[in-house]
Amino acid sequence: MSSTDSPSPSLSRAMVQLRVNGVSRSVALDPDRHLLYVLREELGLTGTKYGCGEGECGACTVLVDGVAVRACQTRIGEAAGRSVTTIEGLAGEKGPHPVQQAFIDAGAFQCGFCTPGMVVAAAALLSRKPRPSDPEVRAALDGNLCRCGGYLRILDAVQRASQRLREAGESTR
């Protein structure tokens, strides 16, 4: 716990740069701090949730260079110099991300606590595989827990988002 006990931490610690939702941020390089801790406790980005701290629930899913990762398992050094997108950075200027809109349309949440992690994981899936089968969606989201049991609606939402993204792609072509 040297990091918190140190009287003047900023003097004794190296800093690293990362881009968070398009903004460059400088944070302390500290082996005790995972990306989740930095996002929530230091940068005030609380949309990314703590659910288990062992990478088993997916509530802390964020994108690092476009790839879905567990922020609770990502050492801050691993994110250095990279681009982090959280749920807060997913929406575009014109409104919600298609996955977010699809979750609203499908009513794919109850308490909503797993939703940010689910949405980010689904967005990552659709960006690499725009037309996933149901088994592929299940496999991609198997690491995300929904204790309210909304899995089938989430599945529906991801397929709606896939459809929506394809239609948007076709209309701009």
Partner 1 sequence: MSSRAGVVPFDLLPPGERPYFDRWGNGLVVVLPARRPGPSGWGAGGPPHGGAWVHVGEDGKARAFTGKVEVGQGTRTALSLIVAEELRLPLSSVELTMGDTDVCPWDMGTFGSRSMPDAAQHLRSTGAAARAVLIDLAATKLGVARENVGLEGGAARARGSGTGRSAGYGELVAGLRRLEFVPPDTRPGPPSEWTRAGHPVQDVGAHDIVTGAREYTSDLHLPGMLHGKLLFPPTYGARLRQVDLAKARALQGVVAIHEGELVAVAAPTLLGAIGALKAIRAEWDPIPQPSEAEVVNYLRQHPAEGEDFWDVIHHQAGDVDVARAAAPVKLEATYTTAFIAHAPLETHAVLASWDDDRLTVRIGTQTPFRAREAISDDLGIPPAKVHVIVPPTGSGFGGKHASELAVAAARLAKVAGAPVRIAFSREEEFTQAYFRPLAVIDVRSAADRDGNLRAWEFHVLNAGSAAARTPYRVPNQKIDNQPTESPLAQASYRALAATANNFARESHIDELASRVGADPVDYRLRQLADDRLAAVLRAVAKQAGWVPRPARAGGRPDRRGRGIAVGLEKGGRVATFAEVHVGEDGHLAIARLVSGYECGAIVHPSNLRSQVEGGAVMALGGALYEAIHFEGGRVLNPRFSEYRVPRFRDIPPIEVVLLDRPDLPSEGGGETPLIGVAPAIANAVFDAVGIRLRQLPLAPDGYVPLSPE
Q: Which residue has the tokens 């397929």?
A: 159
Per rule CB under 8 A, count of chain residues that contact partner 1: 61
3-state secondary structure 46-91: CCCCCCCCCCCCCCCEEEECCEEEEHHHCEHHHHCCCEEECHHHCC
**CB of 5 or CB of 170, closer to partner 1:** 5
Q: Which residues pair with 56 in a beta bridge?
A: none
70 near partner 1 (CB under 8 A): no
Closest CA to 135 of 149, 155, 120, 121: 155
129 near partner 1 (CB under 8 A): no
**CB of 78 or CB of 88, closer to partner 1:** 88
**CB of 64 or CB of 155, closer to partner 1:** 155
Among 14, 54, 170, 172, indicate the residue that binds partner 1 (CB under 8 A): 54
113 near partner 1 (CB under 8 A): yes
DSSP E strand stretches across the chain: 15-20, 23-28, 61-64, 67-70, 83-85
How far apart are alpha carbons 128 and 77 in whole angstroms? 25
90 near partner 1 (CB under 8 A): yes
**x/- binding map, residues 15-44, to partner 1, per CB under 8 A?**
-----------------xx---x--xx--x
Query: CB of 80: closest distance to partner 1 in angstroms?
Result: 19
Among 110, 127, 163, 164, indicate the residue that binds partner 1 (CB under 8 A): 110
How far apart are alpha carbons 98 and 104 in whole angstroms? 10
How far apart are alpha carbons 70 and 58 in whole angstroms? 6
Interacting residue ranges for partner 1, rule: CB under 8 A: 1, 3-5, 7, 32-33, 37, 40-41, 44-54, 56-57, 59, 86-88, 90-91, 96, 100-101, 103-104, 107, 109-116, 119, 137-139, 141-153, 155
